[in-house]
Chain A
């Protein structure tokens, strides 16, 4: 199967799953920003996306996307380490123009993944999971997302943790978005710099929308 056996096939899966996750993030961030504008509106969306079949199906698909992206990342990284060989360079420097993020995607991915677990516990476990299982896992109603958000970000430590996490995600995205397009072959000499700019804009917008929430609470507006 060329999607597993071939290096470009594997990169194709990485790209497609990556782009899928970016689209999810775009949707997620648009949704989140509502909590600042209107907490009740936000709760309405939370209710809409609760334990309904389409939301569950979407979540499963999303989870599958994550799992594929992560499994392929592990596989690719393992292979690349083998290709590098057993001896490492004693001195290795980066030439100008090589982004730090591009060389550290796996590490950034790990950071993002680590915080993701926390994030799932903070929100998903207390909301969609609670609704699905009928268990009462949090202090508020499962559909009252706005209260959960407010409660969590009343702690400045959580605000900072989320800001750090989102920064790592931002770095991951700045390389990931253009890299996905490059791997799909949607690039050429003229578009190479343009694609990079577009990628930076998309990832920055997504992250700014996400980040506005902890910053909003950290600055005391949501109190």
Chain B
């Protein structure tokens, strides 16, 4: 049932990428437990605006857990303490009355802070630009049913493809590694005959870009999988390793 709680928020404020940031503490009363975390942030911002203060900058868009825009490291977890959801799907009923909630931006060398809780995840786009595609132009492709694909492979490819590119994997990884993100795309396309053709090439290009952008080395802690809002499995990382190593040995 709906009820109200009072919370204290410790929120990271940082004016720009090169500016030193710090925590600010805010009190927010009568927060409905039915509201989402971002709606609570809206209320807080409305309160700040009414006090003629700068509202807190944070990324958000679809608010239904699919665009991958919302970030925030809440009480030690990317997307907050609840499992298999993004921040926009986190609801205030997961918090206790009187609780202090710590909110931080993604912290990773490859994701510089833009302002407050907003970070630059352009590195993920660059990795996809390096090779996260099948090289086909529009038109001139065979019929959709020309190549049968086993349901098992199609389903596993779909599981990998469900990645929303939010960055939680690299944000939570103690090594700042983007392996789950890269693996999800490499694995999805390697599983399908259409992407199989250039699978080796793709793995090499994407891994090289990932390394160049300053992401860390995967040490298989599995934290990425545990925090992934879409439950992408680290078994895809094994497939990426396999694709990459076999490509390198063939060279």
- A residues with a Cβ closer than 8 A to B are 2, 5-12, 76, 79-80, 82-99, 102-103, 105, 175, 178-179, 182-189, 192
Closest 10 CB pairs of A and B: A185-B242, A83-B216, A83-B176, A93-B76, A187-B238, A95-B226, A80-B175, A185-B241, A80-B216, A102-B221
Which chain A positions have C-beta within 8 A of B223? 94-95, 98, 102-103
Distance from B249 Cβ to chain A, minimum over Cβ atoms (Å) = 10
Given known contacts A6-B208, A186-B238, what 9 new A-B pairs fall within 8 Å (CB)?
A: A7-B177, A7-B211, A7-B215, A80-B174, A82-B216, A91-B73, A93-B75, A93-B81, A102-B223
Distance from A138 Cβ to chain B, minimum over Cβ atoms (Å) = 39
Among B35-43, B51-59, B100-108, the one that faces the other chain is B100-108
Q: In the complex the two chains form, is B211's CB within 8 Å of A97's CB?
A: no
Which chain A positions have C-beta within 8 A of B81? 93
Q: In the complex the two chains form, is B176's CB within 8 Å of A85's CB?
A: yes
| Interchain CB contact (< 8 A) of A93 among B77, B225, B234, B248 | B77
Q: In the complex the two chains form, is A83's CB within 8 Å of B110's CB?
A: yes
Q: In the complex the two chains form, is A87's CB within 8 Å of B226's CB?
A: no
Question: Given A83-B176, A93-B77: A98 and B226 within 8 A (CB)?
Answer: yes
Distance from B87 Cβ to chain A, minimum over Cβ atoms (Å) = 15
Which chain A positions have C-beta within 8 A of B234? 182, 192
Question: Given A7-B210, A91-B102: A84 and B107 within 8 A (CB)?
Answer: yes
Q: In the complex the two chains form, is A12's CB within 8 Å of B245's CB?
A: yes
**Cα distance, A11 to B207, chains bound together (Å):** 13
Q: In the complex the two chains form, is B226's CB within 8 Å of A185's CB?
A: no
Which chain B positions have C-beta within 8 A of A87? 21, 107
**Cα distance, A12 to B210, chains bound together (Å):** 17
Q: In the complex the two chains form, is A103's CB within 8 Å of B241's CB?
A: no
Closest to B226 in A: A95
Question: Given A2-B248, A83-B176: A98 and B222 within 8 A (CB)?
Answer: yes
Q: In the complex the two chains form, is B76's CB within 8 Å of A92's CB?
A: yes
Q: In the complex the two chains form, is B217's CB within 8 Å of A90's CB?
A: no
**Cα distance, A5 to B212, chains bound together (Å):** 10
Q: In the complex the two chains form, is A89's CB within 8 Å of B217's CB?
A: no
Chain B 162-200 residues near chain A, CB threshold 8 A: 172, 174-177, 179
| 20 pairs from A and B in contact (CB 8 Å cutoff) | A7-B215, A79-B217, A80-B219, A82-B214, A83-B215, A89-B107, A90-B102, A91-B75, A92-B76, A93-B76, A97-B222, A99-B222, A102-B219, A178-B220, A182-B220, A182-B237, A185-B240, A189-B156, A189-B233, A192-B238
Which chain A positions have C-beta within 8 A of B9? none
Closest to A86 in B: B109
Closest to B241 in A: A185
**B235 on the A face (CB < 8 A):** yes
Q: In the complex the two chains form, is A185's CB within 8 Å of B243's CB?
A: yes
Q: In the complex the two chains form, is A179's CB within 8 Å of B219's CB?
A: yes
**Cα distance, A8 to B203, chains bound together (Å):** 11
Which chain A positions have C-beta within 8 A of B177? 7, 80, 83
Closest to A88 in B: B107
Q: In the complex the two chains form, is B207's CB within 8 Å of A8's CB?
A: yes
Which chain B positions have C-beta within 8 A of A105? 219
Which chain B positions have C-beta within 8 A of A96? 226
Which chain B positions have C-beta within 8 A of A11? 217-219, 241
Q: In the complex the two chains form, is B235's CB within 8 Å of A185's CB?
A: no
Q: In the complex the two chains form, is A188's CB within 8 Å of B235's CB?
A: yes
Which chain A positions have C-beta within 8 A of B21? 87
**Cα distance, A96 to B83, chains bound together (Å):** 10
| Interchain CB contact (< 8 A) of A182 among B75, B176, B211, B238 | B238
Closest to A183 in B: B241
